[in-house]
Amino acid sequence: MGRRLAARRARRPVSLRLRLTAGLVVLLAVACAVVGLGTVVALETFLVGRVDQQLAATGGRFAASLEHERRPDADNVPDTRGQAEGTFGARLLAGRTTQAAVVKDDTDAAVHLTPADRHALATLPPDGKGRSVHLSALAGRYRLAAVRGDDGDILVTGLPLRPVEDTVHRLEIVEAAVFGAALAATAAAGAAWVRLSLRPLERVAKTATEVTRLPLATGEVAMPAPVPHSDTHTEVGQVATALNRMLGHIGDALARRHASEERLRHFAADASHELRTPIATVRAHTDLALRHPGPLPQQVRHSLERIAATSQRMSGLVDDLLLLARLDAGRPLAREPVDLTRLTLDALDDARALSTDHHWLLDLPEEPVVVQGDEHRLHQVLANLLANARTHTPPGTRVTLSLTTDPDHAELAVADDGPGIPEALQAEIFHRFTRADPGRSRRTGGTGLGLAIAEAVITAHHGTITVTSSPASTTFLLRLPLTTTPDEHPTLPKDADPHSA
């Protein structure tokens, strides 16, 4: 569990503002580190050079004086030969240290060297150049220089490096404090500067986010205002210009699409109105011819019966198209109390009468469920769903119509254990003229408008209809609000697309 949380934190995206601010601070920190390191190295080199100059000026006088146990002009007073406090001297003969002392309180104090110290002194080349050596006996680093004496011995003189180290350390503390304050101030100022610099880009992102929230797939869409920008020569200005140009193209395309949809809806409504009269006339004349008292040739009677069946089918198609056109135009449906319990019973009884080969099951609550809406249209929705279950499943299929409620909605479900709906078709099943099998649909008389009408009617009632399907399990779920406000009528907004779920 801890590893998964750590991985999620590791994958969490970092904002551009934070990356820019962090990059600025890191670059400044690197620059401060380089400057600080260079300053420390330069100061240490300079101070060590001054120590080497002092060593060169003293030569091996203090080490040579160690051969004399007492000063020539005074008894009982050690001779420091005017050396500074902490000066170290040693005399080596045949690679072995014979005397070693350090100036302390204006006297020569003998030093008891460790084997490591003796070895370090024995390895010093007698060339008079200063070298840094750690002397354990004196608990510190010394700058030592070795020269050859007059008696064939080697004289070593050294000065302590503690003053150099203390000075360098103080410089490091000062630089750390100054650079730390500079980094903190730069981080604060850099964050404000980056925020100010990225404000135009934030406006671009805000506009793009507004576009993603628009219902671009349906109806007339009001595009957001163009992104304000001042200079097209900057990167942000170029992005804003490109986004504004893209929004303009999208707005024009959506406007043309909406105009085309409106023309198509008006055409469907006008065509439906115009077709109803001639189709009714054809049906009337066909019925009149079939009721002729005289004998009719069998071929003529068969043709008249086919004309009657086809005209009836065309009449149903025209009625469906006219209903969709009215819903598209935002025509309000009836608004009255509808007893869904009784409506469900009636719809299942009709389906059972039409097909005795299916197993029809009913699941109802104990109390009646009442909603506000158009009873005739809601019955049409249930009839369409049950007709689909009857038509597109084999005999013996079990179809269950259930009614349940939650605190805010009534839920109607039509479920069957038939072969299911192909996955590729489920996303388009509520579109108009959608058929799983065009040949079968023609044979059974389907127009591909039943589910589109069901979706449009339920949407007009401020509800939803969804489908879930897999082999041996298909469920259409309708959700209708249990209560509506007094001024709320079931209607489909004019700019809504009945294809959307």
Predicted confidence (pLDDT) per residue in 416-432, tens digit = 998 888 887 877 888 77
Q: Would strands 88-93 and 154-160 be described as parallel, antiparallel, or unpaired?
A: antiparallel
> Are 147 and 154 in contact, with CB atoms under 8 Å apart?
yes
Do 290 and 357 lie in one domain? The reply is: no
Do 375 and 449 lie in one domain? The reply is: yes
Do 351 and 388 lie in one domain? The reply is: yes
Rounded Cα–Cα distance for residues 103 and 90 (Å): 12
Give the pLDDT score at 435.
64
Is residue 1 in a domain?
Answer: no
Is residue 398 in a domain?
Answer: yes
Q: What total number of domains does the chain contain? A: 4
Residue 469's CATH number: 3.30.565.10
Name the burial class of residue 68, with classes exposed (0-12), middle (13-18) and buried (19+) by CB atoms within 10 angstroms of its CB. exposed
Report residue 480's pLDDT band, with 50, 70 and 90 as the boundaries: very high
Report residue 270's pLDDT band, with 50, 70 and 90 as the boundaries: low
Listed as own residue / partner, the contacts of 463-470 with beta carbons closer than 8 Å and 24 or more positions apart are: 463/409, 464/501, 465/381, 465/430, 465/501, 466/501, 467/421, 467/426, 467/429, 467/430, 469/420, 469/421, 469/423, 469/426, 470/420
Residue 238's CATH number: 1.10.287
Do 429 and 320 lie in one domain? The reply is: no
Do 342 and 421 lie in one domain? The reply is: yes
Tokens of 371: 């909603």
Do 88 and 29 lie in one domain? The reply is: no
**H, E, C per residue of 227-261:** CCCCCCCCHHHHHHHHHHHHHHHHHHHHHHHHHHH
Is residue 448 in a domain?
Answer: yes
pLDDT digits (tens, 9 = 90+) for 146-165: 888 877 888 888 899 899 98
Q: Which residue has better confidence, 478 or 110? A: 478
Average pLDDT, stretch 352-380?
89
Do 168 and 39 lie in one domain? The reply is: yes
Give the list of residues 6+ apart from residue 222 with CB closer than 8 angstroms, or none. 214
Q: SS3 of 468, please?
A: strand
Is residue 498 in a domain?
Answer: no
Q: SS3 of 159, please?
A: strand
Report residue 244's pLDDT band, with 50, 70 and 90 as the boundaries: confident
pLDDT digits (tens, 9 = 90+) for 79-93: 455 677 888 888 888
Average pLDDT, stretch 89-113?
83
Do 341 and 453 lie in one domain? The reply is: yes
Look-up: residue for tokens 């510190």?
140
Is residue 214 in a domain?
Answer: yes
Give the pLDDT score at 488.
46
Is residue 176 in a domain?
Answer: yes
The answer, yes or no, to whether residue 78 has pLDDT greater than 70, is: no
Do 397 and 474 lie in one domain? The reply is: yes
Do 324 and 215 lie in one domain? The reply is: yes
Q: Would strands 359-363 and 398-405 be described as parallel, antiparallel, or unpaired?
A: parallel
Name the burial class of residue 6, with classes exposed (0-12), middle (13-18) and buried (19+) by CB atoms within 10 angstroms of its CB. exposed
pLDDT digits (tens, 9 = 90+) for 34-77: 999 999 999 999 998 898 888 888 777 787 777 655 444 444 44
Instruction: Work out the mean pLDDT of the chain and round it to a whole number.
Output: 79
Kindly list the distances between the CA atom of residue 401 and the CA atoms of 353, 361, 362, 386, 476, in Å, as whole numbers in the listed order.
15, 6, 5, 9, 10
The answer, yes or no, to whether residue 499 has pLDDT greater than 70, is: no
Average pLDDT, stretch 366-383?
89
Q: Which domain holds residue 138?
A: 59-160
> Where a domain ends, among 329, 345, 370?
329
Dihedral angle, C-alpha 283, 288, 289, 295, nearest 10 °:
150
Is residue 496 in a domain?
Answer: no
Do 27 and 121 lie in one domain? The reply is: no
pLDDT digits (tens, 9 = 90+) for 291-327: 777 777 888 778 878 888 777 777 767 776 777 776 7
Lowest mean pLDDT among 172-181, 237-246, 257-266: 257-266
Rounded Cα–Cα distance for residues 373 and 462 (Å): 10
Detail the DSSP E strand segments found in 50-139: 88-93, 96-104, 107-110, 131-135
Rounded Cα–Cα distance for residues 379 and 431 (Å): 20
Is residue 495 in a domain?
Answer: no
Number of H helices, E strands in the chain: 13, 13
DSSP secondary structure letter of residue 436:
S
Give the list of residues 6+ apart from residue 353 with CB closer than 8 angstroms, or none. none
> Where a domain ends, among 306, 329, 352?
329
Pick from 420, 407, 398: which is nearest to 471 by CA?
420
Residue 96's CATH number: 3.30.450
Do 96 and 187 lie in one domain? The reply is: no
In this structure, the number of other CB atoms found within 10 A of the CB of residue 301 comes to 14
DSSP secondary structure letter of residue 492:
-
Average pLDDT, stretch 234-262?
78
> Where a domain ends, among 197, 221, 253?
197
pLDDT digits (tens, 9 = 90+) for 1-29: 555 555 555 566 777 778 888 888 899 89
DSSP secondary structure letter of residue 84:
P
Average pLDDT, stretch 180-193?
89
